[in-house]
Amino acid sequence: MGQNPQKDLTRVNTVLFDFDGTVMDTNELILESWRHTIRTLAGREADEDEIRLTLGEVIADSMRRLLPDVDVERAVGVYRDYQRDRYLDRIRLFDGTEETLRALKAAGCKTGLATSRLKNTTEQGLAHFGIADLFDAVLTASDTDKFKPDPAPLLMILEMLGSRPEEAVFIGDTRHDIEAGLAAGVFTVLVDWSFALPPEKRKDAPTPDAVIKDMPGILKLLGMRISKPSHA
């Protein structure tokens, strides 16, 4: 899946990222949390494919679909209680992420994070790995009532950064990310390490503008063509 020739990367001065599964490897923790929640509240084992479908969603929406007979607040509480004491011990940055962010900043690129995760755990993860200062703006599920695949979060963070869609790239790992990026009019990139969309699951998903094999792949995709951000 190559670059879409109809979209011009020479104007890019802004790179937006998803958090879970893109910047931060939270996959195993999410799997464990769902297994625990479904086992506790439904008395059955979770199916990995049904868990994949939750990735990128707001957790309450996923709970309503997977556990329709359980009170949503109770289900979310069980899930978050399981994660609370394990979170920082079970997550890690994907290889090359910090170096890539620093290279983008050194090139004068604006960076943003748009995630459906709540603000407190997003900030905890960024601070724990010392990369909070590498994002010029962060938009979480605590900051909006509209979530991907709605393009609103991406348009909101672009406004925060003072950037236009045609100047931006968005990197994510789920079909919700792809749908939101395409709808927002930004150059949309899927990470090849996606747990939510492994190669065998992509035929039924929307087609991104490009796929990167590793995080430094965004630098290769942009080359030396990252424009300096304009200042008002």
Do residues 165 and 185 touch, judged by C-beta distance below 8 A?
Answer: yes
What pLDDT does residue 36 have? Answer: 96
Q: What rounded mean pLDDT belongs to the chain?
A: 92
What pLDDT does residue 225 have? Answer: 43
Domain ranges of the chain: 9-25+91-222, 27-90
Amino acid identity for residue 228 in this structure: K
Per-residue pLDDT tens over the stretch 183-206: 999 999 999 999 999 999 899 899
Question: Percent of the chain scored above 70 by pLDDT?
Answer: 94
Instruction: Give the lowest-confidence range in 74-83, 151-160, 216-225.
Output: 216-225
pLDDT at 26 over 90: yes
Residue with tokens 């790179």: 15
- Over range 11-26, report the average pLDDT: 97
- Over range 144-169, report the average pLDDT: 97
| 9-25+91-222 CATH pick, 3.40.50.150, 3.40.309.10, 3.20.20.140, 3.40.50.1000 | 3.40.50.1000
Instruction: Give the lowest-confidence range in 50-54, 65-69, 97-101.
Output: 50-54
Residue 18: active-site member: yes
What pLDDT does residue 6 have? Answer: 59
What pLDDT does residue 8 have? Answer: 82
pLDDT at 68 over 50: yes
Cα–Cα distance for residue pair 114/170, rounded to 1 Å: 9
Amino acid identity for residue 221 in this structure: L
- Over range 34-55, report the average pLDDT: 92
How many angstroms separate the Cα of 194 from the Cα of each of 62, 94, 167? Answer: 19, 11, 25
Do residues 54 and 66 touch, judged by C-beta distance below 8 A?
Answer: yes
Q: What is the pTM of this model?
A: 0.90
- Over range 23-29, report the average pLDDT: 96
Q: Which fold has domain 27-90?
A: DNA polymerase; domain 1 (1.10.150)
More confident residue, 228 or 105: 105
Q: Which of 36, 46, 38, 35 is nearest to 69 (CA)?
A: 38
Do residues 173 and 56 touch, judged by C-beta distance below 8 A?
Answer: yes
In the chain, alpha helices (H) = 27-42, 48-52, 59-66, 72-84, 87-90, 97-106, 119-128, 152-161, 175-184, 217-222
- Over range 34-62, report the average pLDDT: 92
Of the residues 8, 18, 173, 214, only one is catalytic, namely: 18
- Over range 2-30, report the average pLDDT: 87
